[in-house]
Amino acid sequence: MASEKFTCPPQPATGAGTFSDNLVGFQLVAGGGLTQGNFEFTTGITEKSNRTFTTGVFSNPINLEGLGVNSVAQSRVIFENNFKVYPNFDLTQVTNFTSYGSMVKRISTSVENIINYFPAALEVTFMDENYVTGTTATNISYNQITNETSFNLNVSRIRNPFDIDFTVNATRNLSLREIKVSDLRNMTTEFKKYSLIIDGVGHDVTYITPTTSQTTGTLKLYIKGDVFLGKTVIYDDLVIRPNDYEVNSF
């Protein structure tokens, strides 16, 4: 009887046709792979998901010119006024901790000081207090030589809750007031400390033509730069107030 010899592990390139071709091991099988008849290779691929992140709108860079500060020295003054704090630890001075007098009078005096010295503003809106709409600035003109924009404001449409005086008699009128107010209320002489605010951006006032009355007439202002970009009339809300340096100093 003839005998057949087997070699383990099998020597051929594959394990097909041998006694061990169905065993789980490291032998190679037809078609490549490890005992492919017993194991199946599968491939799973997950595609990358693209995501869009919305960061919103970034604010414009902050600089001294945008804050109404003309020099580094002015910015230092603001910093010192805001951050100079001197604690008083002298417990022997009772007057440092106690105030004598009427609390009502003390509070009323504080409120009056705030009202009289608060940096006031003029406001011209598209809709006035009587719900009447209209232009806010007229007769707008830009002078390329002086780089100034001039325009007119209808005094009857100006909201002036803190009684800023922009008339030719502003200095005398303020001196006759029973209660002293901030010098900034005299816009006729302090106009260089004012700015025109449009959409949160300040533009320096370079000159004004005072009026003869605070209730009627036309107030003419001159602003640095081409503010209205060629427009002759506008309907946007306008605010004329002391610049950021004066406000921060207060």
Is residue 241 over pLDDT 50? Answer: yes
pLDDT of residue 87: 61
36 pLDDT tier (thresholds 50, 70, 90):
very low
Is residue 106 over pLDDT 90? Answer: no
pLDDT digits over 203-236, tens only? Answer: 999 999 999 998 889 999 999 989 888 889 999 8
pLDDT of residue 132: 85
Asked if residue 117 is part of any domain, the answer here is no
The domain of 31 spans 8-44
Nearest to 171 by CA among 157, 187, 158: 187
Say if pTM beats, i.e. exceeds, 0.75.
Answer: no
Asked if residue 191 is part of any domain, the answer here is yes
SS3 content of the chain, % helix, strand, coil (to 5): 20, 20, 55
pLDDT of residue 247: 81
Asked if residue 233 is part of any domain, the answer here is yes
Asked if residue 115 is part of any domain, the answer here is no
pLDDT > 90: percent of the chain = 25
Q: Is-cis flag, bond preceding 87, omega within 30?
A: no
67-71, 164-168, 176-180, 181-185: which is most confident: 164-168
Give long-range contacts, CB 8 A cutoff, 24+ apart: 112-117.
Answer: 112/179, 115/162, 116/179, 116/180, 116/181, 116/182, 117/181, 117/182, 117/250
pLDDT of residue 40: 57
Whether residue 36 is found in the same domain as residue 143: no
pLDDT of residue 1: 56
CB 217 within 8 A of CB 155: yes
How many domains is the chain partitioned into structurally?
Answer: 2
Asked if residue 113 is part of any domain, the answer here is no
Whether residue 239 is found in the same domain as residue 129: yes
Whether residue 33 is found in the same domain as residue 135: no
CB 234 within 8 A of CB 140: yes
Pairing outcome for strands 148-154 and 218-224: antiparallel
Average pLDDT for the chain: 78
Whether residue 126 is found in the same domain as residue 244: yes
Whether residue 33 is found in the same domain as residue 140: no
Count Cβ atoms below 10 Å from residue 110 Cβ, excluding itself.
10
Count Cβ atoms below 10 Å from residue 217 Cβ, excluding itself.
17
pLDDT digits over 125-171, tens only? Answer: 888 888 888 899 999 999 999 999 999 999 989 999 888 999 999 99
Asked if residue 70 is part of any domain, the answer here is no
pLDDT of residue 240: 92
Whether residue 245 is found in the same domain as residue 126: yes
Asked if residue 211 is part of any domain, the answer here is yes
**What is the C-alpha to C-alpha distance for residues 250 and 247, in angstroms, rounded to an integer?**
5
pLDDT digits over 65-81, tens only? Answer: 766 677 777 777 766 66
Whether residue 40 is found in the same domain as residue 136: no
Asked if residue 102 is part of any domain, the answer here is no
